[in-house]
Amino acid sequence: MINKEELNKLLEVKGEVKGVVFQTDGKYILEKEGEEGIKKLEKRVKELGFPIDYRKGKALDLHPIGLRIVSLLLIKDTFDWSDGEIRNMGYITPTTSFIVKLLMKFFVSFMKFMNEVPRYWEEHYTVGKLETVKLDDETKDAILHLKDIKIHPLFCLYLEGYFERMYQFIVGKGGRCRETECMFKGASYHEYVFNLKK
């Protein structure tokens, strides 16, 4: 069961996120749970007093980054979803995100895309740093490090799905992404490893 105090604490985390993430959350819920589902979530959000607008929020407006996690936790709790479903939500998100559409010109080749990934992060979040640490154009293997951001393990999982889909936009459906190091497991960064399914 969700604890309001814990959720409120998340709002104290420094940093901001663009409103587009709530738009994509809303679209996913609408597709998965229908109009009834989104109404149920909106009611819950309103009752708890969080200013999340899943329908009319502006894609580029900035919100406290904690709200991103509040949204994920409330979705998971409201629909009794598994962690895997949250990962899948991340996986589906790039297909409906307006910001991803703005960045489409970078989905032209593996190297170009991977080199532009840090910019992708900056387009969404005002904290954290995404760095490319390994790139192999031949094998299409890559390693990214996400630094200076530790909010919630569920977010790590969401991002794993999200990054996997973005990677597939370049290498096709055989692309996989796994978080191999995590700040919640003692590492000094989150490490995401990308490779083609063998």
Partner 1 sequence: MNMSLTSKNSKKKIQAEEEILGLESYIRDFWRFLPLPVCYVNPVNIILDIDEVFSGFSGYQPTEIIGEDLRKLFVSSEQTEEFEKEILKKEIVLNREMVFVRKDKKKIPVNISAMQRKDEKGEFIGYFFSLTDISESKKFQERLEKEVEKKTEDLKEKIGELERMNKIMIGRELKMVELKGKIEQLEKQQKNRK
Per-residue tokens: 41: 């979530």
| Contacts with partner 1, 101-140, as mask; x by CB under 8 A | xx-xx-xxx-------------------------------
CA-derived radius of gyration, the chain: 16
Instruction: Report which DSSP code applies to 104.
Output: G
**Alpha-carbon distance 145 to 6, whole Å?**
27
Alpha helices (runs of H) in 49-152, residue ranges in sequence order: 66-78, 83-92, 98-102, 110-124
- Binders of partner 1 among residues 156 to 195 (CB under 8 A) are 165, 168-173
Minimum CB–partner distance for residue 167 and partner 1 (Å):
10
58 binds partner 1 (CB under 8 A): yes
Minimum CB–partner distance for residue 21 and partner 1 (Å):
15
Minimum CB–partner distance for residue 144 and partner 1 (Å):
19
Q: How far is CA 95 from the centre of its chain?
A: 12
Report the interface residues with partner 1, using CB under 8 A: 31, 58-60, 92, 94-96, 98, 101-102, 104-105, 107-109, 165, 168-173
